[in-house]
A = this chain, B = another copy of it.
Amino acid sequence: MTSFIGSSQAERQNLITELVLKNTSVSIQELAEMFQVSAMTIHRDLDELEQQGILRKVRGGATAQRTYLFESHLTYRMNACQEEKEAIAQAALAYVEPGEAVILDDSTTILTFAKKLVDISHLTVITNFFSNIEVLRGLRQINLIWLGGDYLFRYNAVVGDLCEAMIRSVRANTLFMSSSAVSQGYAFHQEEMIVRVKRAMIESASRRILMVDHTKLGKQALRQLAPLTMFDLVIVDSLSDPDQVEKIRDLGVKVEVVPLVKRGKV
């Protein structure tokens, strides 16, 4: 195992998260030595991670939060597979026409996509995800319809009956969606509230595009979200297992495999 010394705060917290997920518990002294920082700094890291619901602080260290064994928190997810998400988002841009209405769901993949929509004129964007709204709200050329409902801090999005009702009262050309896992002909997600919203979104869009990076393929999560046959297109990156891709194609679902763009600098 290589040295962790000199990692940035974000790196350190991600490594701590991995450690605690793997070993189910860590001690503060251990971590302080490992990263060559003061115990106070580790305390602060653990406080943050606890706040995010990733782990639970206990005397002398921290233990894993069972609920998060699969799906970790937003800020952590955002760091993962960014390169793949960029490539997938870029490819998805081809399916947006000026003047259309699109629905964007709450996921970091789609957020990457949203950031690329700034150049498209007269677009109507419908979303329940606060981060999307923050990115798009300043743009004059985008007509932003934001979905209301109960705000869920953990996902930074709104959900619930009110939200579903509102989704049912709008219509969009295309839905751009991601999910936690894809396997056995289904897309999965672990949170019931979110699943319900995503299902409503599927119903309200004429065309549905599912965007997932290779780490999601072959995985499962708690709840079936929708059969893949509901989607008109699945976009994945080129690191995906060809077998998995083939299985999806066997269902009669179109799959687009996008190559990763070479990263200019590390």
Most buried by B among A144, A148, A150: A148
Do B148 and A145 touch (CB < 8 A)? yes
**In the complex the two chains form, is B165's CB within 8 Å of A169's CB?**
yes
Residues of chain B within 8 A (CB-CB) of A162 are: 145, 148, 166, 169-170
> Are B144 and A151 in contact (CB-based, < 8 A)?
yes
Asked if B148 and A146 sit within 8 Å, CB to CB, the answer is yes
Q: Please tell me the size bucket of the interface on A.
A: 20 to 34
Residues of B contacting A158 with CB < 8 Å?
Answer: 146, 148
* Stretch of A61-69, A92-100, A135-143 at the chain-chain interface: A135-143
Q: When the two chains form their complex, are residues B153 and A140 in contact, meaning their CB atoms are under 8 A apart?
A: yes
Q: Which residues of B contact A130 (CB under 8 A)?
A: 133, 137
Asked whether any CB of chain B lies closer than 8 Å to the CB of A185, the reply is no
**Chain B residues, Cβ within 8 Å of A140:** 153
Q: List 19 A-B contacts (CB under 8 A).
A: A130-B133, A130-B137, A133-B151, A137-B156, A138-B153, A140-B153, A143-B151, A144-B150, A145-B150, A145-B151, A145-B162, A146-B149, A146-B151, A147-B148, A148-B158, A148-B163, A162-B169, A162-B170, A166-B166
Task: Enumerate chain A interface residues (CB-CB to B < 8 A).
Answer: 130, 133, 137-138, 140, 143-151, 153, 156, 158, 162-163, 165-166, 169-170
15 more contacts with CB within 8 A, not counting A146-B151, A148-B148, A162-B169, are: A133-B151, A137-B151, A137-B156, A138-B153, A143-B150, A143-B151, A145-B148, A145-B151, A146-B146, A146-B148, A146-B149, A147-B148, A148-B149, A148-B162, A162-B170
